[in-house]
């Protein structure tokens, strides 16, 4: 709001964030709602699915993703996650056998 009680208008959300002293980049941290809604939403013996636990944040993310993909792993990040996960496999197999 301005001193006159009128709202300011911004060209886009990035301009609004910059006016608040934040980066204009998408980072899901302005209010913290989107960031706090990211969690594991599914898991099997061979995979983990990360997503949004609140539908409102999921809908915002879908709109952002359609406009400019931002959520997910790059090919390089996928390779890193895969390599790390392979290192966990022997321990996971031992844990699963112990639980049986």
- Domain shared by 62 and 80, yes or no: no
- Domain shared by 22 and 43, yes or no: no
- Domain shared by 82 and 64, yes or no: no
Q: In this predicted structure, what is the pLDDT of residue 1?
A: 47
Quote the tokens at residue 54: 């609140």
- Domain shared by 16 and 35, yes or no: no
Helix, strand, coil shares of the chain, percent, nearest 5, are 50, 10, 40
- Domain shared by 98 and 80, yes or no: yes
- Domain shared by 5 and 23, yes or no: yes
Neighbours of 42 (CB within 10 A): 9
In whole angstroms, what is the distance from residue 78 CA to residue 73 CA?
6
Alpha helices in 20-74 (DSSP H): 33-36, 55-67
Q: What residues make up the domain containing 24?
A: 1-30
- Domain shared by 22 and 35, yes or no: no
Domain count, the chain: 3
In whole angstroms, what is the distance from residue 95 CA to residue 67 CA?
42
- Domain shared by 21 and 41, yes or no: no
Q: In this predicted structure, what is the pLDDT of residue 9?
A: 86
Q: In this predicted structure, what is the pLDDT of residue 64?
A: 84
Which pLDDT tens digits describe the chain residue by residue (100 residues)? 455 555 678 888 888 889 888 888 777 777 888 889 999 999 888 788 999 999 999 998 898 889 888 888 888 998 998 888 888 766 666 666 666 5
């Amino acid at each position: 709001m301005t001193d006159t009680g009128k709202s300011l208008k911004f060209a886009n959300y990035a301009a609004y964030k910059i006016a608040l002293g934040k980066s204009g980049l998408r980072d899901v941290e302005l209010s913290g709602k989107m960031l706090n809604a990211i969690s594991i939403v599914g898991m099997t013996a061979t995979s983990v699915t990360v997503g949004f636990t609140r539908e409102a944040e999921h809908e915002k993310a879908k709109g952002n993703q359609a406009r400019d993909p931002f959520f997910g792993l790059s090919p390089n990040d996928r390779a890193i996650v895969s390599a790390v996960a392979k290192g966990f496999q022997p321990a996971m197999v031992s844990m699963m056998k112990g639980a049986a």
